[in-house]
Structure 1
Amino acid sequence: MSEFQNVSPLPAAVLWDMDGTLVDTEPYWMRAETELVASYGGVWTHEDCMLLVGSGLWNSAGILQARGVDMEADAIVQWLTDRVQEQLAEHGVPWRPGSRELLAQLKAAGIPTALVTMSVKRMARQIVDLIDFPAFDLIIAGDMVTNSKPHPEPYLTAAATLGVDPTHCVAIEDSTPGVASAVAAGTITIAVPHQIDLPESSEYTRWSTLDGHTLADVSALYSARLTEIELDLTPTRTH
């Protein structure tokens, strides 16, 4: 019997990226980066901001140092995080379209959820605490892993901590590094482009938005992808 037969029609867990997928905090990060570079006499453009979308914070710190920010990497990460948290405290949770509704449906159905973000844990915790229902069973943050996205470690760690097989998980991402991380971990990946477009690919499913997508859509995708994997693994019979 195939390992994919008789599995639940619901995924074992749904693993969410945060910035740009769950919440639209990218403008907050861009404002913080621009302010920091300007404080050292530099100019930080929108194109520069795009270089850091989906990247680990310590990788971003290295790029900012190369642009003239004379601070240690840890200090850069702390400064940026503090500035973004100030904006969150002022403006609240800036939900991406459809994300809150889908997350609430998943929780009502009892599906485990994890927040898998390259932001530091204190910022992820602030966002989770601002959500008006118990949204996540687990947080895996950038300061909790050795390798940041696009390495698979963040998603593998989330699945292992939840005690589930990553191939039976659905991951939702918006960036190139994030999608690469989720795919490399073996998850069934939904790419929802935001700041940077993502092309169609056989490695993941591209949705233009989460708005209007429901638990039924996630379950249908999960079942369809498992069927595809099973067919790929079925030996070809010869006569």
Structure 2
Amino acid sequence: MDGTLVDTEPYWFAAETELVESFGGTWGHEDALGLIGSGLWESAAVFRDLGVALDDDAIVERLTAGVRAQFARHGAPWRPGARELLEALRAAGVPTALVTMSIRSMADDVVSAIGFDAFDAIVTGDAVERPKPFPDPYLEGARLLGVDIAACVAIEDSRHGVASGVASGALTLGVPNIVPLDGSGAHALWPTLAGRGVEDLAALLADRAGARA
């Protein structure tokens, strides 16, 4: 979601900066890059090490509230081609799941802004025991859809996300946003989703099937 469907990473950076600075610390661009794609509860330890005197749940709640406030104020910054590809998949009857390490309230904000019935299932960071880069989130998405994970394409913008998708057995497509994905292990890399359609994703699956055969 964050960085693949919507470019909310600047919202997260602002919320992280406000949180750390409110406890007298400093937070920079490189710090923020290190957390992209991580689970929120796992990230909480980083903030506590920087002097944020809150428990994990309070850190997650405060960060999410900050991002949601910016989302409400500035709207959904859609990534190029992402919403259009999602709409094309829905029109073609392809089952889709949103697999994000944001919590459910944040995911609901994004989904409600899409403007059409976008997902058959939603997996969030507060609904899985092990976050990305573990395979659990994508395996749960496939389970909820009732499909074989090997027939799925996971679209990711982060290294943690790519690792999760690959470990799950999904064909994992990297579409970099802020973090480069060269050498990440993604099965394919596209510079953008703009101009891509259902047939392009189907071709990735067909190529993998052919290679295995």
The two structures share one fold, judged by TM-score above 0.5 = yes
TM-score scaled by length of structure 2 = 0.97
SS in 1 for 2:11: helix
Deviations 1:102-130 (A, max 9, x none): 00100000101000000001110111011
Tell me the equivalent position of 1:197: 180
Paired with 1:165 and 1:136, the residues of 2 have a C-alpha distance of 17
In structure 2, stretches of 5+ residues that fail to align are none
**Which residue of the partner structure matches residue 66 of structure 2?**
83
1:1-239 paired onto structure 2 within 5 Å: 18-200=1-183, 203-229=186-212, 231=213
TM-score (norm 1): 0.87
SS at 2:210's partner residue? helix
- Could you tell me how far apart the structure 1 residues matched to 2:112 and 2:103 are? 14
Deviations 1:39-61 (A, max 9, x none): 01111010111111000001111
Q: Is the 8 A contact 2:133 2:163 kept in 1?
A: yes
Do the aligned partners of 2:163 and 2:185 also contact (CA within 8 Å) in 1? no
2:132 maps to a residue whose letter is K
Q: State the AA in 2 paired with 1:218.
A: L
* Separation in 2, partners of 1:81, 1:133: 24
Deviation of 1:156 (Å): 0.3
Deviations 1:166-218 (A, max 9, x none): 00001100000000000000001100111110115665101111111111111
Q: Which has the higher contact order (CA 8 A, sep 6+)?
A: 1
Question: 1:21–1:96: 8 Å Cα contact kept in structure 2?
Answer: yes
In structure 1, stretches of 5+ residues that fail to align are: 1-17, 232-239
Is residue 155–residue 173 contact of structure 2 (8 Å, CA) maintained in 1?
yes
CA contact (8 A) 1:200 1:206 kept: no
CA distance in 1, matches of 2:50, 2:206: 47
Query: Is the 2:159–2:184 contact (alpha carbons within 8 Å) kept by the matching residues of 1?
Result: no
Aligned length: 213
**Cα separation, 2, equivalents of 1:54 and 1:201:** 13
RMSD between superposed Cα atoms in Å: 1.0
Which runs of structure 1 show a deviation greater than 6 angstroms over 4 or more consecutive aligned residues? Answer: none
Larger Rg: 1
| SS of 1:213 mapped into structure 2 | coil
In 2, Cα distance between equivalents of 1:211 and 1:69: 40
